[in-house]
Structure 1
Amino acid sequence: MLRWKKALTRAAYGVEDRVDALKYRLRKRLGKVNQVMIVPYRGHGSTDRFFLSGRVIENRAIAPPRDDDSAWLNLLNMYRRFASEEIRGATVRARFGSVTQTTVADREGYFEFAFAPDPALLTPEQHVYQVELELVDYPGPRRPTAGASAEIFVPPPDAQFGVISDLDDTVIQSDVVNLLKLVRNTLLKNAHTRLPFEGVAAFYHALQRGTNNGYNPIYYVTSGPWNLYDLIVDFFEIRGIPAGPLHMTRLGLRRDQLIRPNRRKHKLAAIHELLTTYPDLPFLLIGDSGELDPEIYLQVVLDHPGRIKVIYIRDVGEKKRANIQTIAAQVKAAGSELLLVQDTVEAALHASANGYILPEALPYIRQERSEDKTGPNPVEQRVRQKLANSAEKKG
């Protein structure tokens, strides 16, 4: 970062920090602080170390998504996600069996934990653990009562490989190369109305099972902001996409950041951290050609020789094809493989031929691709609506 840009960033950070602190003190004095909630993000770890993060904010009052939500309601909910009021200085306690740890949320309400888990609670058969979170204290007018449960994903000893996947235009149709479509998909749709790429859920489940019907972990690394976390989690559940830890970005001013972090640096750092956490686990990388995934994944291959089995890049247009072929040659020279694929089935055929998924999974992937292309029929739409109504009543 240029010297003048660093100075500007630090000055803006200081101003924003003072303004936010003043606003919070004023709202607290006027009794305008709403119900406080802990938003835990899915974490990851090993038998040696758990990593989890989250945020303490005021309740945003976002209703569960429905198929018939209007564009205006989706836009309002999106505004609420980005206009959330963070609780700075909140004290949060994590508990896993006999292990407890306490931390304090930063100026944006974010907190992080890293601790050695209670070994008495770890079993080779279990790959998702629950860590209880408690809001111990916060600088507000009401007694803290918030709590939450965070999921920690731990690969089993017999995991064959891990998968690191991008989200936008890899799992979710975002159209990042078309600004108008990107805005429409992001701001005016919800978890029910946004679309997955055809066959992605069946393909990812096949990768997760591998060829031993076990559990291979899937990690999602995106430059999207944490403000969209609840939308992504709902989308995965509605579309049947395998759950896994998400690595997202923090918007806003920081001492070394104007508004949002560098996408390349963010993704490289997240992937490096995962490969370091699991030194004996090989990985498959999945992305698209719309942005920088091919370049980022090439750097990962160069930085971590022998760790990447294959890279699948979904082709979103001919603009970068020649450049991607050059990158593919560099990846091959480094001992790995990069495939530019037109759809999920093409990637699945390669995965089956190379022993990453079972051949029996291919008909299901093809079937789902066809169903995703045609969309739900009227009966399925009514079933989805009833499920949404039931979820709303329970909530």
Structure 2
Amino acid sequence: MTAKKGKLFLTIIYEIKLKVNQVILWVSIKLGLVSSILIVPYQGFSNQKELYLAGRVIRDNRVKKSTPTDRIWQNIDKMFRRFNTVVIPHVQVKALFAGQEFFTKTNEEGYFEFKVAIDASKISGSRWQNVELYLVDQIIKGQGYVTAIGKVVIPKGTLDFGVISDIDDTVVPTGAMRLTEMLKTTFAKNAYTRVPFAGVSALYKALEKGRDGLESNPFFYVSSSPWNLYDFLIELLEVHAIPKGPLMLRDIGLSRTELIAGSHEAHKLEQIRKILLFYPHLSFLLFGDSGQDDPEIYLQIVKEFPGRILKVFIRDIHASRHEFVKRKSKEMAQYGIEMQLVEDTLAATRIAIENGWILPDGLEDVAVEKAINENATE
């Protein structure tokens, strides 16, 4: 099949998918299977002049928060609900922020984005600000008001640096190199039973505080996990007291041009570029793992943004990847940046202290938490 025919084929298949989605929505409404609509806002971010907030409008699948006592079948049921999505396309969403109104429409997959001009100097209070969201259009009878509160971070104060971190096999073990293990972990566990790597919370808290001990350094989590897992990952960060920050996930469904929309590498590069361009005067630490393409992705970022990356931390998750990381480290060294392969959070903490990025007492905090975490899993 030629490239032209391949693109035409994907376009046809994608249009069929959209028609199927329309039919599913129409039938679901007619049969009363859509009893309420949900606006799902994704945590956004702002600089001094522009605000970015995305989200999705879907049927309310009534996914309740997890508890420590949830059984495997309950975890599987929640995951099924997350992926059994009925999207609401082409509807208008209103945002209210700092006394201003903004409007946008969901796309054919139910996603919406706000990219709006603001004056952050006039906004007081916490670095996390609320954005009120309202669904303008009537979708079902007796719909009532459909509202949500979006959260946007506006970094304030003396910023030492920002942190961009992967999640899978960087913050929490996933087994991404072993498909069966990854599927079992994803569907059978919840935010309480999926335990992060020992000491991650203390390390990331220390980085958030930075050199002055104030929680001001912003965090961004860039992952190739699908948006369907957004609420689960937010809950995971909250349960394990890991600094919150915008999650930048991806839509893994069929698109007009790709069988799986957005490759792992392309998605992460696009999102990291977006962050670096949004904060042009801020340097960053990058955290990833050796399991997939993080070393290659971060090398490309170092090339594109000279002087913007302080250091790259790669969690060592498998010996088979040592040679690959070593090669990428040598290439990165040519640009004056070190890619450090680290065994655990203590190793990363020591390096951060040596470079003056966190306070010395952070080492004890990480060591204590790491010991507690490891004892709890024995």
**TM-score between both structures, scaled by the size of structure 1:** 0.92
Q: Which string of whole-angstrom CA distances, capped at 9 and with x for unpartnered residues, describes residues 350-391 of structure 1?
A: 0000011111111010111111111179xxxxxxxxxxxxxx
Aligned equivalents of 2:28, 2:126: Cα separation in 1? 45
Q: Is the 8 A contact 1:286 1:311 kept in 2?
A: yes
* Shift in CA distance, 2/222, structure 1 to aligned 2, threshold 3 Å: farther
Please state how far the C-alpha of 1:119 moved relative to its aligned partner.
Answer: 4.4
1:33 aligns with 2:34: yes
Aligned equivalents of 1:201, 1:8: Cα separation in 2? 46
Q: Which moved more, 1:276-285 or 1:318-327?
A: 318-327
1:138-217 to 2 correspondence within 5 Å?
Answer: 138-214=138-214, 215-217=216-218
AA at the equivalent of 1:142: G
Please state how far the C-alpha of 1:69 moved relative to its aligned partner.
Answer: 1.3
Partner residue of 1:131? 131
Please state how far the C-alpha of 1:23 moved relative to its aligned partner.
Answer: 2.4
Q: Which moved more, 1:317-326 or 1:214-223?
A: 317-326
CA RMSD of aligned residues (A): 1.6
AA at the equivalent of 1:275: L
Please state how far the C-alpha of 1:73 moved relative to its aligned partner.
Answer: 1.2
AA at the equivalent of 2:159: A
Q: Is the 8 A contact 2:21 2:86 kept in 1?
A: no
Where structure 2 has 5 or more consecutive residues not aligned to the other structure, the ranges are none
Q: Which moved more, 1:244-253 or 1:161-170?
A: 244-253
1:217-232 to 2 correspondence within 5 Å?
Answer: 217-232=218-233
- SS of the residue corresponding to residue 197 of structure 1 reads coil
- SS of the residue corresponding to residue 6 of structure 2 reads helix
* Shift in CA distance, 286/2, structure 1 to aligned 2, threshold 3 Å: farther
Please state how far the C-alpha of 1:102 moved relative to its aligned partner.
Answer: 0.8
Please state how far the C-alpha of 1:155 moved relative to its aligned partner.
Answer: 1.4
Where structure 1 has 5 or more consecutive residues not aligned to the other structure, the ranges are 378-395
Q: Is the 8 A contact 1:89 1:139 kept in 2?
A: no
AA at the equivalent of 2:130: Q
Q: Is the 8 A contact 2:37 2:143 kept in 1?
A: no
Partner residue of 1:108? 109
AA at the equivalent of 1:36: I
Q: Is the 8 A contact 2:50 2:117 kept in 1?
A: yes
Please state how far the C-alpha of 1:284 moved relative to its aligned partner.
Answer: 0.4
Q: Which string of whole-angstrom CA distances, capped at 9 and with x for unpartnered residues, describes residues 1-51 of structure 1?
A: 943432222111010111211222233334432211111110011111110
- SS of the residue corresponding to residue 137 of structure 1 reads coil
Q: Which moved more, 1:367-376 or 1:180-189?
A: 367-376
* Shift in CA distance, 294/114, structure 1 to aligned 2, threshold 3 Å: same
Aligned equivalents of 1:290, 1:5: Cα separation in 2? 31
Partner residue of 1:74? 75
Partner residue of 1:343? 344
Aligned equivalents of 2:109, 2:253: Cα separation in 1? 9
Q: Is the 8 A contact 1:224 1:248 kept in 2?
A: yes
Task: State the identity %.
Answer: 36
Q: Is the 8 A contact 1:137 1:143 kept in 2?
A: no
Please state how far the C-alpha of 1:273 moved relative to its aligned partner.
Answer: 0.6
Please state how far the C-alpha of 1:179 moved relative to its aligned partner.
Answer: 1.9
- SS of the residue corresponding to residue 359 of structure 1 reads coil
Aligned equivalents of 2:138, 2:16: Cα separation in 1? 23
**TM-score between both structures, scaled by the size of structure 2:** 0.96
Q: Which string of whole-angstrom CA distances, capped at 9 and with x for unpartnered residues, describes residues 184-208 of structure 1?
A: 1101001111010110000000000
- SS of the residue corresponding to residue 136 of structure 2 reads strand
1:300 aligns with 2:301: yes
Partner residue of 1:333? 334
Please state how far the C-alpha of 1:177 moved relative to its aligned partner.
Answer: 1.3
Please state how far the C-alpha of 1:180 moved relative to its aligned partner.
Answer: 2.1
Partner residue of 2:65? 64
* Shift in CA distance, 119/197, structure 1 to aligned 2, threshold 3 Å: closer
**How many residues end up aligned between the 2 structures?**
376
